[in-house]
Structure 1
Amino acid sequence: MPATPEIVDSHCHLDFPDFAEELPEVIARAAEAGVTRMVTICTRLRNAPQVRAIADAHAPVFWAGGTHPMSAAEEPMATLAELETLARHPKFVGIGETGLDYHYTAESAAVQQESLRLHIEAARVTGLPLIIHARAADEDMARILTEEHRAGVYTCVMHCFSSGAGLAQAALDLGFYLSMSGIAAFPKSTELREIFAAAPVDRILVETDAPYLAPPPYRGKRNEPAYTAFTARVGAELFGVSEAAFAAQTSANFDRLFWKAAAWQAAA
């Protein structure tokens, strides 16, 4: 029987209440499904101690932190010093998620943009990749990412990418990565799959965004890192490679972008 391909869930939210009663079991199921590493994301910096504790307690789990754009108007503005301090933790591997969301919170666009630029500066200073959430804000997102990249280079992943082809190309032109979530596996996501298929395979990551966006056959249910394999299966079909080859490629892409996680793994 062939070995289960090893893969990385590059974005999940293990501190959410959905997992409170069975987190060790969720992480164990991920390992059984071939998910060797996962990055759990802190979306409000006041929750950083809880998210850090999960990474400290579970060897396969790394973490990142920032202020989610939908919370930008409710939370204190992050500071560069605050993000630099978080980045000193050995398993803290990325800045964010940050970004722009005009679908639900367009009224806070100005503060979202201010927060985004602050997080970009933190990514520059720390050398850690920026983790971007973008929804219904393609034009402003492409403009700000490009302006800031001209001002000083940084690396970035467009998490749970489900925007248009224009933003995808703008991100790829800057050397950034696109991350496939369960949305790419939804039957009606034909246009999104075409965007991914047109991208270089060495710029693709996979994620769950758990507990959200479970791919078929679990759509509508709570998502968890073990389900990364279902999205990866769709990715393998798009690029015309085996599931094992796609898992290996996206894991290598993760190591290249999330270099701190790769270094930790190598030293373990």
Structure 2
Amino acid sequence: MLVDSHAHIDARIYNKDRDQVIARATEAGVRFIINAGLDLESSAASLKLAQKYAGVFVALGFHPHNAAKMKDGDLDKLAQLSQEPEVVAIGEIGLDFYRNLSPREAQIEAFEQQLELAQRLNLPVIIHCRNAQEEVFAILSQWAGCQRGNPVGVLHCFSGDRELAERYIALGFFISFAGPVTYPSSNAAEIARDIPLDSLLIETDCPFLAPVPYRGKRNEPAFLPLVAERLGQIRGLSLDEVAENTAQNTLRLFRLPVQAF
């Protein structure tokens, strides 16, 4: 059994064949999908999908690209949505200083406010970080959520180095890898090889970052076995061992119902 810890199946690119995408995921052994919101609209849409498709759960939040769109009252609306049982996290949230589609000040403010929301709701967080490694770590290391003693979140599609991964794990975070572990030019596989197995998650981040041999095409949860297979190759594990361990890690982080497994 596999769990896709980060997807965007609410994206418009799936509008014509979403039922088939979900069916292919099930056929590929992907039993659960965590769908991450990008703003209020996509968070609400993701919740509707989770209420339609068994095995889909939701994270609510404003991606850093959309931080400047966050208005007064939006956090309260996210809090309202979070009362639904399909909601398991706040995300994806964080900083993206590569594109800066929202001003950095707006990104930081939205990030900190959503961390406070997650703390208040006792929900884990899904973190986006690009070209802002030290800034994100500095904020998270001061976040009160890290004092809870439970798994507190995940660095999705991790792009930092081994030393940074160790620092995040010490704070209670999981480290997640996606399609780039299959790319010859990426160092993701080298980093993923040394992450403790009980701190490892896998994801597709679909429709983005399709693994080899689908690189450059639309990604989907059914391609997750390719990520697990590659991680198994570099760690000397079977696909089933990677799948089972990362699935159990996802269960712990998002507190998915045990009976679901």
TM normalised by structure 1 equals 0.91
Aligned with 2:123 (options 124, 128, 131): 128
Measure, in 2, the Cα distance between the counterparts of 1:103 and 1:91.
Answer: 32
Deviation of 1:194 (Å): 2.0
Q: What is the match of residue 207 of structure 1?
A: 203
Distance 1:264 1:19, change over 3 A: farther
User: Cα distance 1:150–1:11, how it changes in 2: closer, same or farther (>3 A)?
Assistant: closer
Q: What is residue 180 of structure 1 aligned with on the other side?
A: 177
Secondary structure of the 1:253 match is helix
> Does the Cα contact within 8 Å between 2:177 and 2:188 map onto a contact in 1?
no
Residues 9 and 208, structure 1, Cα contact 8 Å, conserved in 2: yes
* Letter paired with 1:177: F
Alignment of 1:129-148 (within 5 A): 129-148=124-143
Shift of 1:192: 2.1
Q: Give matches, 1:62-141, under 5 Å.
A: 62-76=57-71, 80-105=75-100, 108-141=103-136
- What do the CA deviations read for 1:65-92 (whole angstroms, capped 9, x no partner)? 1000011113326654333222111101
- Choose from 163, 167, 170 the match for 2:164: 167
Residue 233 (str. 1) matches residue 229 (str. 2)? yes
Q: Is the 8 A contact 1:214 1:222 kept in 2?
A: yes
Change (3 A) 1:107 1:121: closer
TM-score (norm 2): 0.93
| Residues matched between the structures, number | 259
Deviation by residue 1:145-189 (Cα, 9 ceiling, x = unmatched):
101148843701001112233432221110200111101111112
Match of 1:192 among 174, 188, 204: 188
Q: For the Cα contact (< 8 Å) 1:204–1:253, is it kept in 2?
A: yes
Inter-partner Cα distance in structure 1 for 2:143 and 2:193: 27
Coordinate RMSD, CA, aligned? 1.9
Q: 1:75 to 1:118 in 2, by over 3 A?
A: closer
What SS is found at the alignment partner of 1:103? Answer: coil
Displacement of 1:264: 7.0
Partner amino acid, structure 2, of 1:41 = A
Change (3 A) 1:173 1:28: same
Instruction: Indicate the percent of aligned positions where both proteins have the same amino acid.
Output: 37
- Give SS of 2:93's match: strand
Amino acid in structure 1 at the alignment position of 2:240? A
Aligned partners of 1:254, 1:226: CA distance in 2, in Å? 17
Residues of 2 paired with 1:78 and 1:206: CA distance?
33
Gap regions ≥5 residues in structure 1: 1-5
